[in-house]
Structure 1
Amino acid sequence: MGNVICKPLGLIDHRNLKSDEEVLLTIDYEIFSDETTLLIKKCSHLVISTDFYSKMKNKRRYSQSEYPLTALPWIIDRIENGFFKNPDAGGFSDFERNTTAEFEGETIGINAMAHCYTENLPGLNIWNGNRKSYISNITPHEWNIPNDMLKDGLLDKLKIIADKYS
Structure 2
Amino acid sequence: MVGLTEYCPVYAPFFGALGCTSAIVFTCLGASYGTAKSGVGISAMSVLRPDLMMKCVVPVIMAGIIAIYGLVVAVLISGSLTATMPLYTGFVQLGAGLSVGLAGLAAGFAVGIVGDAGVRGTAQQPRLFVGMILILIFAEVLGLYGLIVALIMNTNATNGTAGVCG
TM-score, normalising length from structure 1?
Answer: 0.28
Return the index of the structure with the highest Cα Rg: 2
Higher relative contact order (CA 8 A, sep 6+): 2
